[in-house]
Amino acid sequence: MIRFARLLVMLSLLVLAAAYTAAAQESRTVAAEGVAMVQQGALDIARDAAVEDAQKRAVEQAIGILIDSQTQVENYQVISDKILSQTKGYIKRYSIAGEVNEGSLLRVRINAEVALGKLGDDLSAIGILLGQMHKPRTMIMIAEQNIGQELYAWWWGAHGQQTDLSVVENTIIDKFTEKGFEFVDHQVAAKEIKVTAGYKVQDLTADQARTLGNQADAEVVIVGKAIAKLQGEIGGGMKSAQADLSARAVRTDTGQVIASASTHGAAVHISEMTAGNEALKKAAAEAADQMLTKILAVYSKEVGGTRSIAITVNGLTKTQFVKFKDVLRNQVRGIKDLHERSFAGATAKIAVDSKSSAQVLSDELTMRNFGTFAVEVTGSTANSLELKVVPK
């Protein structure tokens, strides 16, 4: 009996492994339908929301097909959740098959090719994902010190006003642009950014990075520090160098850190500076790979699930704030959770977990009935909204 039980356990593990392997390697074309509300006749916005809903349903269908094609498993939901969390289900490509306008509802049908594999290996899928995230622009702000340099160098203003991209910045940009990311040219950014004395430092904080990145119209800033050191000779006149790099990716609208990496690289060369360059390149390449994986995971989760949106409301009383939160929780489509950050004077700050984008959320808020007051959108980014209360 014990041996039989062990055999059953082994067979179960093999079944699960087969399901995971199939999901990671295969793709399916499925038909799916998404639904969205039409607000004030804005069909374009409703269509985008309906397509996003249809894409999520297509991924769910493909998971079911792949699992059922391998085996009938009772704990389907557990396996489905694990596949979604581990392989980041995504749409490789899709086409709109039709749409029906039913008054306040818009139904959109799509045919989608769904792949359940490693997102970072598929450039077409990354392109669609970045498009759904409105192609966020990235800027690099990494201070670097190579062998032979007494001080760190950085382009945003210090020690000779470095104008050329560093080894680390070049390597990270090359890695990211291969995947379709867009970067702000640092030479153009240097002309636009007003750098005060407090910002001419090698260790930028997340808030400092946000401030400088916003001036250059970047949505994400990769900020950090890298240093290469000579370890000595290893024979034959060859020099050994090692490099350390720490970096993090910060959203400029909310200050959210969406990725970080601490890496190490080593190299040897007859020239100590070349050895330092090669060590820096290795550390930068590893950091780029780590951050790419983390950033794409964040984007994938937000497109297929919920995203955090920071909301600032100006000009409201405490009573109005209570009413505002009640409407958000109970009348706004797609809100999954609400987190109050602060209320001071006449300004409230909250964060919501939303299935809709900030654009869709702002449209819905302007349509909602708050009783004695209404709200106007005074500013917005991909992940934040700024509102003001206006009396009726």
Report pLDDT for 116: 65
Residue ranges, the chain, pLDDT below 70: 1-26, 63-90, 116-122, 124, 157-165, 195-200, 304-305
Provide the pLDDT for residue 228.
94
HSE-CB of 95 using CA atoms within 13 angstroms: 2
Residue-wise pLDDT tens digits, 201-221: 777 888 888 888 888 889 999
In the prediction, which pLDDT does 118 show?
57
Structure tokens at 213: 């990145």
Residue 367's alpha-carbon distances to 5, 51, 102, 305, in angstroms, are 60, 22, 19, 24
Q: Where are the alpha helices (DSSP H) in the chain?
A: 2-25, 43-70, 76-87, 123-132, 167-178, 186-192, 206-215, 272-304, 318-331, 358-367
pLDDT tens for 339-355 read 999 999 899 999 999 87
Q: Can you give the pLDDT at residue 66? A: 54
pLDDT of residue 342: 93
pLDDT for 124: 66
